[in-house]
Structure 1
Amino acid sequence: MDSNIITGSCHCGNVKFRGEIEKNLRNSITEKCNCSICFKTRLWYIKVNEKNLEVNKGKDNMEIYEFGQKDNTYYFCKNCHIELFGLYKPKNKPNVNAFYVVSVATIDGLSPKDLSELKVIYLDGLNDNLESKPEYTHYL
Structure 2
Amino acid sequence: MKKTYHGSCHCKTVRFECDVDLDAGTSKCNCSLCAKTRYWKAFIGGDDLRMIAGADNLTEYQFGGKNITHFFCKTCGVKPFGRGDLEIMGGVFYGLNLSVLDDLSPEELAAAPLQYQDGLHDNWGEVPTEIRHL
- Give the TM-score normalised by structure 2: 0.89
Residue aligning to 1:43: 39
Q: Percent of aligned positions with the same letter in both sequences?
A: 37
- Partner in structure 2 of residue 34 of structure 1: 30
Aligned pair count reads: 133
Q: 1:109 aligns with which of 103, 115, 126?
A: 103
Unpaired runs of at least 5, structure 2 = none
Structure 1 unaligned residues grouped into runs of 5+: none
Structure 1 residue 134: Cα displacement? 1.0
SS of equivalent residue, structure 1 residue 131: coil
Distance 1:114 1:20, change over 3 A: closer
Corresponding position of 1:6: 5
Aligned with 2:56 (options 60, 66, 76) = 60
Q: Deviations over 1:2-42 (max 9, x none)?
A: 75212100011111011123x3x3x2311000111111221
Q: For 1:139, what is the secondary structure of its paired residue?
A: coil
User: Corresponding residue for 2:116?
Assistant: 122
Corresponding position: 1:69 with 2:69:
no
Query: Paired residue for 2:85?
Result: 89
Runs of 4+ in structure 1 deviating by more than 4 angstroms, as ranges, are none
Specify the code of the residue in structure 2 equivalent to 1:17: F
- Structure 1 116/95 Cα, relative in aligned 2: closer, same or farther at 3 Å? closer
TM-score (normalizing by structure 1): 0.85
**Aligned-pair Cα RMSD in Å:** 1.7
Contact 2:5/2:103, CA 8 A, preserved across alignment:
no
**Aligned counterparts of 2:4 and 2:103: Cα–Cα separation in 1:** 12
62-71 or 2-11: bigger deviation: 2-11
Instruction: Measure how far apart 1:118 and its partner are.
Output: 2.3
Distance 1:95 1:62 in 2: 26
